[in-house]
Amino acid sequence: MTHSAKRPNCFNPRATFFIFVLLVLQSVGCKNSANPPQAATQRVSPWPEIARLLSGVPSTRFAGVQQSAPYQKYVKKADQLWTQIQSQNIQPIQSWRRSLSLLEQNAHILYPLSGADFINMALMYPEAATYTMIALEDPGHLDEIAQLSATVLGSELNALHASLYSYGARNYFQSKNMRLYFSHKHFSGILPRLIFFITRMGIVIEDIREITLEPDGTISSKPDKRGGFARGSRDGYEFSLVRPDTGKRQRLLYLKQRLGNQIATADNALGHFFSKKSFSHLILKSAVYLFHMKNFEQAGRFLLARAETVVQDDSGFPYHFFDPKIWDIAFYGIYIRFPIEGTIFHVQQDLQAAYRHKGAEPLPFSFGYGIIKGKNRSNLLLARKRQDAPRRLP
C-alpha cells in the first residue's frame, strides 16, 4: 500500500494581508493618477461690479440694466450730484486737510452717530487701516437689480438719488429725508448709500459681508451665498476696501447700535466690543448733542480718554471735556448756537469765549449743523492730545 506525499500548507496569513494592502494602495494610486486633486477654486467677489452699477459707474456686467432708460436717466443725475459733492465738499476738505498732520497712518477711526457719512471720515483720515461707523439707522439691504422691472428700478434709483441730494448740497443728511427715502423696499437703509459714496470716491469695494455683534464683543461675519446683493443684516456690514492709487487695503464696519454709558462697562456686547478695540481718532458731526446729556456723559468721557485726535462740530463733546493740560485745540469757522428741533441745550459760554479770545481760522466748507443757518456758518474743532499728556484711562 503506497502513501502519497503530504502537501505542505501554503496559506500564510501575513503574506496574504500584505498582498491585500498592496492591491488597495495600487487601486487608490490609479484613481488618484486618473483624477489628480483639483486646486481650490478661488471665490471671485461680485461686489466690485455690483457697486459700480449701483453708483452709476460703467460696469462689465448687467448690460441690460445699463441700457435701460431709467438707469441711464439715473446715471446723468448721479454724475451731476457727484460733481456738486466734489466741488462743494470733497475738494475744499482735501485742500484744508493737506495742511494738517493727524498721524492716522494705519489707525482705527471711530465715527459715532455717523449715519451714512463715509465721505467726511475718509477725507479727514484717508490713511486709516479700519473705519468703524456706529449709528441707529438700519443697515438695510440690496435686492438683485437685474430682477427688478424698469418701473420699480426707476423708483428705487430715484429714491436713492433723492436721499443723497441734500447731502451733496449741504454736506448734511436731513433726518426727514432719511426717514422718507431709507425705507424703500429694494434699496433700503445705509448699505446702498455707503456703496455709492465709497465707489464714487474711487475706492474699490472688494467684498461686503453681513455681520453680527456677538455677546462677547467679537464680530462674526456670514459668507456670501447669493453671488452678491444682501438680504439685510440685523447688526451691520463689513466692507473690504482697496484704494487703487496706493494699493492700500482698508476695513469698514457699520454697526447699528445705540450708544450709551454701557460702552464703558464690560458686561454687555457693545461694552466688550469697545474693550477689545483701540479707537485712536474720532470724528463727530451733527451728533445731536448726545454727549452733552447727563445720561451720556460717562460714555463721552470714556471715548475721549482713548482718543489721540478729535474732529468735531459743537454738537460733539462739550468744550469743557477738553482739559487744556491734555489737549491742544485749533478752532475753525464761526461758533453760533444753532437751534435744533428737540434739543434743550444753550450756547456753550466757554466755547464762545474761546472763539472770541483765541481766534479761529477760516473753514472753507460746511460742517455739521452750521449749514442750517446758511453757508459760512459752520464751526469745527480739531483737538490733538499733547505728547506729554498722561494716557491713563478711566
For the stretch 325-346, pLDDT in tens is 999 999 999 997 765 666 667 7
Q: Please tell me the total count of domains within the chain.
A: 2
- Residues 275 and 317 reside in one and the same domain: no
Using CA atoms, how far apart are residues 168 and 94, in angstroms rounded to an integer?
Answer: 16
Give a yes or no: residue 37 inside a domain.
Answer: no
pLDDT at 92: 95
pLDDT at 162: 87
Contact present, 258 and 290 (Cβ < 8 Å): no
Which of 224, 257, 279 is the C-terminal boundary of a domain?
Answer: 279
Handedness of CA 104, 364, 91, 121 (dihedral sign): positive
- Residues 273 and 330 reside in one and the same domain: no
Give a yes or no: residue 297 inside a domain.
Answer: no
Using CA atoms, how far apart are residues 248 and 335, in angstroms rounded to an integer?
Answer: 37
- Residues 125 and 262 reside in one and the same domain: yes
Identity of the amino acid at 385: K
Paired sense of beta strands 281-284 and 108-112, if any: parallel
Using CA atoms, how far apart are residues 228 and 62, in angstroms rounded to an integer?
Answer: 13
| Parent domain of 80 | 43-279
Q: 240-249 contacts: CB < 8 A, separation 24 or more? A: 240/205, 240/206, 240/207, 240/208, 241/198, 241/203, 241/204, 241/205, 241/206, 242/203, 242/204, 242/206, 243/202, 243/203, 243/204, 244/202, 244/203, 244/204, 245/202, 248/127
**What is the C-alpha radius of gyration for the chain, rounded to an integer number of angstroms?**
29
Count Cβ atoms within 10 A of the Cβ of residue 181 and give its class: 0-12 exposed, 13-18 middle, 19 or more buried: buried
For the stretch 95-122, pLDDT in tens is 999 888 776 677 999 999 999 999 999 9
Give a yes or no: residue 237 inside a domain.
Answer: yes
pLDDT at 266: 82
Give a yes or no: residue 269 inside a domain.
Answer: yes
pLDDT at 341: 61
For the stretch 6-59, pLDDT in tens is 444 444 545 444 444 444 445 444 444 445 445 445 567 889 999 999 999 999
- Residues 181 and 129 reside in one and the same domain: yes
- Residues 88 and 232 reside in one and the same domain: yes
- Residues 57 and 147 reside in one and the same domain: yes
Residue that is written with C-alpha cell 439715473 in the block: 74
Using CA atoms, how far apart are residues 216 and 392, in angstroms rounded to an integer?
Answer: 25
Give a yes or no: residue 244 inside a domain.
Answer: yes
CA-CA distances (angstroms) from residue 119 to 36, 268, 394?
50, 31, 31
Give a yes or no: residue 74 inside a domain.
Answer: yes
- Residues 73 and 188 reside in one and the same domain: yes
Which of 261, 279, 297 is the C-terminal boundary of a domain?
Answer: 279
Which of 279, 294, 321 is the C-terminal boundary of a domain?
Answer: 279
